[in-house]
């Protein structure tokens, strides 16, 4: 069995990335260091149709950066409560010549990750065609071991849509 000492965990604040975080406890040794990364896209690239209103773009970027910091802080607290050494990194794509999977790959290589863990939303059909798959693209370009975690259907629902567990 492989022992991973440095695990890179990519999070986006979704229930799927929370599921990926929870999976680390199933195999990571107590002395593992987990580096949690969140990637913030450049709104100019993501929303090119609004490129005339730079005030709105900068506001959107600041909101994305603030939300990214909150996502990282939550993941850091969860992992630290399990006893792991945790590092965080907010990756800002502005000025970088890559996409989200490329940024995650570069961070893992720079840091020397033994394993990268990502959640996958499991999109199919038109939704996958329109939204793409960060996880699939990452698996194709990664030269290091990757663990994809597919959230169960219950975990990916909004709290008000989830069905309560049966009482015993």
Q: What is the pLDDT of residues 151-167, one digit of tens each?
A: 775 444 443 433 333 33
Which tokens hold the place of 121? 């939303």
Domains of the chain are 12-120+134-150 (3.40.50.620)
Reduced to 3 states (helix: H, G, I; strand: E, B; else coil), residue 117 is: strand
Q: What is the pLDDT of residues 10-55, one digit of tens each?
A: 999 999 999 999 999 999 998 999 999 999 988 766 655 555 666 7
Task: Give the count of beta carbons closer than 10 Å to the beta carbon of residue 112.
Answer: 11
Q: What is the pLDDT of residue 131?
A: 43
Give the C-alpha distances (Å, rounded to integers) separating 20 from 47, 56, 96. 28, 33, 26
In this structure, of 35-44, 52-61, 70-79, the range with the lowest mean pLDDT score is 52-61
Rg (CA), the chain: 17
């Amino acid at each position: 069995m492989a022992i991973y000492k440095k695990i890179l965990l990519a999070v986006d604040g979704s229930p799927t990335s929370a599921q990926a975080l929870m999976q680390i406890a199933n195999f990571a040794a107590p002395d593992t260091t987990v580096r949690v990364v969140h990637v913030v896209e450049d709104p100019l690239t993501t929303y090119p149709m609004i490129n005339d209103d730079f005030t709105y773009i900068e506001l959107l970027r600041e909101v994305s950066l603030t939300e990214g910091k909150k996502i990282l802080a939550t993941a850091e607290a969860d992992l630290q409560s399990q006893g792991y050494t945790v590092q965080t990194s907010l990756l800002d794509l502005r000025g970088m010549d890559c996409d989200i999977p490329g940024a995650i790959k570069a961070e893992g290589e720079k840091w020397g990750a033994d394993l990268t863990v990502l959640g996958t939303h499991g999109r199919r059909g038109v939704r996958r065609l329109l939204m793409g798959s960060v996880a699939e693209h990452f698996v194709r370009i990664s030269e290091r071991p990757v663990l994809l975690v597919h959230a169960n259907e219950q975990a990916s629902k909004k709290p008000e849509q989830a069905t309560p567990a049966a009482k015993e």
